[in-house]
Structures are given as C-alpha cells and as structure tokens.
Amino acid sequence: MDRTFVMIKPDGVARGLTGAIISRLEKKGLKLVAARLVCVTETQVMDQYREHAGKPFFPSLKSYVMSGPCMPMVWEGRNAVAVVRHLIGATNPAEAAPGTIRGDLGLDTGRNLVHASDSPESAAREIGIHFTEKDLVEYRRVEEPVLYEWTE
C-alpha cells in the first residue's frame, strides 16, 4: 500500500473540523497509520514548505502554520497521494469542487484547512519530518477485502 502525508492546519483544528476531515478520509477507505496534535516548529515548517521559501506568500504561510495546533497524519491506501489530493480539492477553496474538503468547508486560499503531499516523493519526505518509522502502526481494516481487488 502507498502512504501519504496530510496535515490539518490551525484553521481546521480551531474550527473543530478534525473529525469531519478524518471521517471523509476513512469513509473513502484510507487507513490512518499515524496522527498527533502538535504545534509545529519553525524547522518543521521550513522543511515541509521548502519549495515555497522565498515566495511572497511564504512569511504569511509560515506564521499561519505556526499560529496554533496542527494535526499531522499518515494515511495508507492504494494510490493514496492521488486519492487524497482529489478528496481535498483545489488549493483555492473557491475553485475546489463541491464534495471536496476545501470545496465544502473552506473559503480562502490562505485558510484552506489542510495540507496534503503532492507526490509519493513529497509524501516520504514530509512523513519523515513529522514521524519516525516507529510511529507508524500496522493493522488491517476489517473492510479491506471489499475495498480492493487484490491482484497478487
């Protein structure tokens, strides 16, 4: 199975949407394998958003992500990165499709509730910023046999 990194940002936590966001990912069939509620450090923000350093919006992004608790998580499932990106919707909630997390729950690009990895490589890097291999749990969801056509 593939893994991806998702982080509920301070606005999602402050608005009490952590349960709703987690529920959408679980209902899709993805498996939560790590999660914690934390205030991320400047080093973690710099590492996680390194591709945005130097862009005009970066200081605001950095300040915002460090402004309150976040919930970093690791999710597992077939094509996890693409599935999660589809579920969360476009970066700008005004352009995100109805039925997506951002389309249904967000209003502003600067407060778009959730971060999700954009590639398997980014997922591996971002997971490593927030979790160790020891933090990731292994288990089988009871519905896995009906979620996947196993081709081995």
Known catalytic residues are 115
Q: Which are the contacts of 98, defined by CB distance < 8 A and separation ≥ 6?
A: 104
Paired residues of 71 in beta bridges: 8
The neighbour count for residue 137, using CB atoms within 10 Å, is: 12
Residues belonging to the chain: 152
* CA dihedral of residues 141, 142, 148, 152 (deg, nearest 10): 90
Q: Which are the contacts of 127, defined by CB distance < 8 A and separation ≥ 6?
A: 3, 5, 34, 74, 136
What kind and span of H or E run contains 24?
Answer: helix 18-28
Establish how many alpha carbons lie within 13 A of residue 80's alpha carbon, considering only the half-sphere containing its beta carbon.
Answer: 25
